[in-house]
Amino acid sequence: MPSRCVVPGCKGNYDNGPVVKVFQFPKDENLRKKWEAAIPRSNLKVINSSKVCELHFHASDIQTTVEIYDERRMETVAMPLDRVRLKKNAVPSIFPNCPAYLSKNLPCREDPQEKRMRLETLQLRTALQQSIRDSEAEDKKQKFHTYTEFQACLDSNTTSPCWTVLKKEDCIYFLLVDLKAAPIIQASVIVDSNLCLKVNFGSSKLEVFAEQKLPMIINDLRVLKKILDDIEDVFTTTNIESNIINVLTELLQDLAKAHPDEELVINNVIEQLSLISSKKTRRRYNAQTLIFSALLFSISPHAYKFIRHSGHIIVPHPSTLRKLTASFNTNPHYEQFSDNFLSYAKEKFNTLLSHERHVTLMVDEIHIKPFFDFKGGNVVGASYEGTAAATSAFVFMIQSILSSYKDVVHIMPVYTITADALHLFIKKVIIGLEDIGFSVIGVVTDNNSINRKAMSMFSVPPNLNIVFPHPNQVISNSCRNVRPLFYIIDPVHILKFIRNNWVNQRNHNIYMHYPDYKTTTEYLQKDIQTPSTSNDSSDQNQQQQVPLKSASFHILRRLHEIEKNSFVKYSYSLSYKALHPTSLEKQNVKLALQVFNEYLPSALREIGKIHSLPHYEETAEYIQLIFQWWCVINVKTPNKGIRLKNKFMHPLTPLKDDENVKIETFDCEEDCDDIRQSRQYGLFSISVDDEDISSAADVLPVMGRKCCVPGCNSNYDNTDVHVHSFAFPKDDRKCLWIKKINRAGFVPTKHSVVCIKHFSEQFIIHNHRVVKPDGTVLEVKRNRPILTSDAFPSLHANQPNYLSEEPAPKRKAPEERLSEMRKRDDNNFANWNEKDIITSFSTLSDCCRSKIPKELQFIQDQKFVLLYKIDPTSMPKIVFSIKVFDDFTVDIWHGPKKLRSQDYSYMLGKENKCDRWTKLDCLINWISATPELEMPLKAQMEHIVSKLKECLLCIKDDLKITTHINFIIEQVYLAMSSHPSYKTDYLLLCAQIYFSYPSAYTFIRNLAILKLPHPLYLKKLAATLRSPSVLDSNSHIYYLKKKCEMLSVDEKLVSVLIDEIHVNASYSYSGGQIIGSAENCNAEATTVQAFMLTSLFSDNKDIVALVPVKNQNNDELLANTTKVLKILKYTGYTVLCLISDNLRLNRKMFEKMAGGSISNFIQNPADQESKLFFLFDTVHLIKSIRNNWLNLNLIHKNLILPSPFSLSLLHTLNSIAHGLA
């Protein structure tokens, strides 16, 4: 029962009173006293059950809701309370049944903290609402949904001035043009009519930029601006080497597609570039690099460590390789029957992008030698059943269909396996990959019968097909919405299968019989069109005969026998191995492609006709047929067919107008019925009803000399006015007359005429005009007027006005007209000549836009004006550019190539100045008519190298990365050069690897991922250094001469370094001769006098001579130095100075060379026209000062030096230098 109110006169919760909420007296003593004082009851005694009802409180004193601030929606939410409560410090003040003066209506002051919170919440809500309104207004201004709205948004907003905007009907181009030298498009952003955004860097199409996959659909102008700003940062910010590397990666990928022969080298360069931009702890190597590193490390660990520490190549640490190899537990049970199944694929999945996870599963069998081994604490080599040693291994490999990613996910060693077991395991791998997150869309195997049978079990009942229900979808969805699983037989195995079946034919001349496809196709079409109704089995057998042709493998061997001793061969692709392959060589696809070669059919037709080889034409046709099939399926890039000009390599597209795709459906019943019905009227003929052909007599009546123009009644019976009329002309003007009389379907007859009313007076000749011998003109009126030769009916009074026209006035007399024309031409020429002159550069800048064609772009600078034309394709490029400088001189580029001024001097004159608008117009027309030039390979390579050097500038302080990038530059040069030229440092590195680790060097070179010199080349270079004295070695002089020919003029200016190397005195036998003897005496050499050259303007340096000596004197050193100077003069170098240490022997040699007293320079003994300077090596000088200081025989070793500010120091420097030893 609810408590009753204790206030006097209140009936709250009494039997005859209202039901109200009551509140207990507060426990706070001060507030409790306030309540007791406020209630008008003198004998009030408060107990625990004493209550006061809600009628005695103001509404503001009662709290009915609780407010909660929602941070996610950033607003205050009010929630109703189940039991209302009083606010803090609330006191009863309303007593309705008591005198009025006992009730108080005092204002209740809001708590300051609550007020502050309320105002802050209100202001925050107001700010949020304003922010939302501003955001909606900005979205409305920046967002778009159609191409038209995008154009409107673009017009109302501005882009960076660095970008050139080119608007077309179906797309808009944003171009970033580099104006430093030859104007080129550094980057282009294209937005087409479908709002699809594409980004190109140079001539490379980007697939990912700023962590966004391209192309992408945009509907917000801010996204476009963000991409434009990011691209601008790539080319304007100097410290973003990662962006430069991204650009280089795209350029190198395009270069690899254009040059597939060097694809391995370029891909390795791309991998090395990607490793530069990542930290050591976060480097991720691709599978090719890991396999190469693991194999090289297993072949020669010392060679691997030497290459890694050289700083030229980034490869994994040996401990990383050990972890990888140790992590592969070779026990089959470890991965097949535990949680580690497909564990490597699970780890690799996390590193892949979303589009790289759509894969195909490739299954292949590798035969291995059966044996058991103990490795990693386990016995390995057992089959998956674990009962016998494995004789083969089934390799399960995944390959992404949208990227180049491929990897091995599982290896199953087997001794013997059935189709049922293989089917279950393939199914297990597919479901495991799907559970990881991969999307397996197909399975690729070879043409082995067990593989075909295993794949056929994916359908119920088992049936071999190209599409099966996906096993993962069948399990999860109970055969509803079944995903397809495609089955593909590897075309490489098919090609080898065809060749092997041909070679293994047991008939005479090794014939392979194949159908005559042309005749067979015609036969089948005829059979479809005329189905047989006879029940005679002999007729059916006769109809089922298919014409066959024979291809002989024996005549290929005959062809090779005929041409094997010829210097020039038709069948140069054939080899003995390709025609007589062993069991192992039958697995080599390169040998199979020697047989199915595009040039072999031509060779068969030429040689076969001369030597009467049997079935040579049919064999050539068979090889050509297989080769065309191989061209169709052996395509990895969309542009391969364009590059090789092979239509069979063009990509197949679903477009209806694609000539390479002829996909038609044939419904046998419906189409045969249509064919039978069409035979009644003739195949594909059109039936014409004779009633549709109207007679000409119905529309062409003969009406006499009455006018045939519609609405004209001239010479008709109901008029008394008779006028002259004219017959239709019989020449080409007849068609013009018919057109001008405006009569539909009218065909004039010989009686059709047009009256004189329809001709202008200038066409009517009323008089005869004769010129007398004295020059006067006699005119006589004609009886019947005639028309001029150019007359035509143009006036039609009874027809609408727009059908009539007044001909142009007659021309004036020739003399008068000629005089006026000359005067007018002279005035026009004078005005034109005055306007044609470009008076100043400001005039050129201001008026150029209005003078040039609209398709040309215009950029104005303080020092030049640039005009260029853009080829607006999917890969925009500058076709040509004209740069006019402030002195009116001109530079012209056609693409990236700068044209010589002599090519267009006949338009500009000898001064090469474009000071007239006509000259500019001629230049534009001339360069526009010049055919397009492709960017040469050298220009592409120089562009890539320039980007690499930009990357060097960004990270020039890091010596290791600098060495690495220099090595990459060397690899790019070598990959693109037909005649490679190796740098000295690179040759030294290769020689160190080869002579220390020859097997490792051969392995690296055979992989073809690095461009390395041939071992014979290194041996030849090393052999030249084994001579007892290279001063007498013609081979080394020849090397220096050839090396000098490859240098520029500045690089040939060198200094010669003279140094002495101490060696152990001993003889040895090397290179077929005894070495170690001194050149100056008959004894063992104790030192080697080395002569080295260094270029003053490049990093080129080389060894000139190494002379073994013993106790050499200054005369012998002078003779050797003179020989070196003469050798360098002969080979083409220019020696500027000699540099040596400050040994007494070298100083004495300098004094003798200078004539007795040492000086700063002398005349070069090998070239009297040039000077030769003497320098002492500063490194040796500082060491001599230190050593002399240490060798002082004083107690405190005090070195006495003159004051550096003393003037006498200048006079004593020479003597001090001589005293330092």
Q: What is the pLDDT of residues 586-602, one digit of tens each?
A: 888 888 888 898 888 98
Q: Which of 791-800, 845-854, 977-986 has the lowest mean pLDDT?
A: 977-986
Gyration radius from the chain CA atoms: 49
564: three-class secondary structure by DSSP = coil
- Mean pLDDT, the chain, rounded, equals 79
Distances in whole angstroms, Cα of residue 989 to Cα of each of 684, 984, 986, 1009, 1046: 76, 9, 5, 16, 20
pLDDT of residue 932: 60
Distances in whole angstroms, Cα of residue 697 to Cα of each of 183, 691, 710, 716, 753: 72, 15, 19, 21, 18
1078/250: higher pLDDT: 1078
pLDDT of residue 37: 87
Give the pLDDT band (50/70/90) at residue 509.
confident
Distances in whole angstroms, Cα of residue 935 to Cα of each of 175, 206, 690, 943: 19, 20, 64, 11
Which residues, other chains included, contact 1147 with Cβ-Cβ below 8 Å and sequence gap of 6+?
1158, 1218
Pairing of strands 62-70, 171-178: unpaired
Pairing of strands 484-489, 439-445: parallel
Q: Which of 5-19, 220-234, 657-671, 1109-1123 has the lowest mean pLDDT?
A: 657-671
Q: Which of 33-42, 258-267, 943-952 has the lowest mean pLDDT?
A: 943-952
DSSP state of 220: B
Give the pLDDT band (50/70/90) at residue 1208.
low
pLDDT at 379 over 80: no
pLDDT of residue 958: 64
Alpha-carbon distance 157 to 141, whole Å? 9
Q: What would the mean pLDDT of 296-320 be, rounded to a whole number?
A: 85
Give the pLDDT band (50/70/90) at residue 182.
low
636/1119: higher pLDDT: 1119
pLDDT at 362 over 90: yes
Question: What confidence tens digit (pLDDT) does each residue in 199-213 have?
Answer: 888 777 888 887 788
pLDDT at 670 over 70: no
pLDDT of residue 487: 92
pLDDT of residue 1138: 92
Output the DSSP codes for 687-745.
---GGGS--GGGT----TTSB-STT--TT-TT------EEEPPSSTHHHHHHHHTT-TT
Query: Which helix (H) or strand (E) element contains residue 274?
Result: helix 263-276
pLDDT at 1000 over 80: yes
pLDDT of residue 959: 66
Cβ atoms of 803 and 791 within 8 Å: the answer is no
Q: What percent of the chain has pLDDT over 90?
A: 7
147: three-class secondary structure by DSSP = helix
pLDDT of residue 1056: 93
Residue with tokens 């040689």: 607
Question: What confidence tens digit (pLDDT) does each residue in 784-837 have?
Answer: 899 988 898 988 888 888 888 888 777 777 887 888 888 888 888 888 888 888
Question: What confidence tens digit (pLDDT) does each residue in 1085-1098 have?
Answer: 899 989 999 998 88
Determine the residue type at 675: I
Q: Which of 41-50, 691-700, 1204-1213 has the lowest mean pLDDT?
A: 691-700
889: three-class secondary structure by DSSP = strand
Cβ atoms of 389 and 370 within 8 Å: the answer is yes
pLDDT at 699 over 50: no
pLDDT of residue 675: 34
Which residues, other chains included, contact 1192 with Cβ-Cβ below 8 Å and sequence gap of 6+?
1198, 1199
pLDDT at 1210 over 60: no
pLDDT of residue 1200: 74
Which residues, other chains included, contact 620 with Cβ-Cβ below 8 Å and sequence gap of 6+?
600, 601, 602, 604, 605, 608
Q: What is the pTM of this model?
A: 0.36
Question: What confidence tens digit (pLDDT) does each residue in 223-249 have?
Answer: 888 888 888 887 765 444 555 666 666
Cβ atoms of 1076 and 1066 within 8 Å: the answer is yes
pLDDT at 373 over 80: no
1065/203: higher pLDDT: 1065
64: three-class secondary structure by DSSP = strand
pLDDT at 680 over 50: no
pLDDT at 34 over 70: yes
Cβ atoms of 1015 and 1009 within 8 Å: the answer is no
Give the pLDDT band (50/70/90) at residue 679.
very low
**CA 161 distance to own-chain centroid:** 26
pLDDT at 135 over 80: yes
pLDDT of residue 456: 92
438/404: higher pLDDT: 438
Q: Which of 13-27, 101-115, 386-400, 863-877 has the lowest mean pLDDT?
A: 101-115
Residue with tokens 């037709």: 605
Length reported for the chain:
1221
pLDDT of residue 973: 74
Alpha-carbon distance 48 to 53, whole Å? 15
Which residues, other chains included, contact 83 with Cβ-Cβ below 8 Å and sequence gap of 6+?
21
DSSP state of 339: T
pLDDT at 443 over 90: yes
Distances in whole angstroms, Cα of residue 688 to Cα of each of 691, 692, 697, 878: 9, 8, 21, 57
Determine the residue type at 600: L
Residue with tokens 């007589």: 580
pLDDT of residue 830: 87
Which residues, other chains included, contact 277 with Cβ-Cβ below 8 Å and sequence gap of 6+?
241, 242, 245
Give the pLDDT band (50/70/90) at residue 426.
very high
Q: What would the mean pLDDT of 901-909 be, rounded to a whole number?
A: 83
pLDDT at 695 over 70: no
* C-alpha neighbours within 13 Å on the C-beta side of residue 1135: 32
pLDDT of residue 886: 87
Cβ atoms of 616 and 549 within 8 Å: the answer is no
DSSP state of 1079: S
Q: What would the mean pLDDT of 836-848 be, rounded to a whole number?
A: 86
Tokens representing 1063? 């060696």
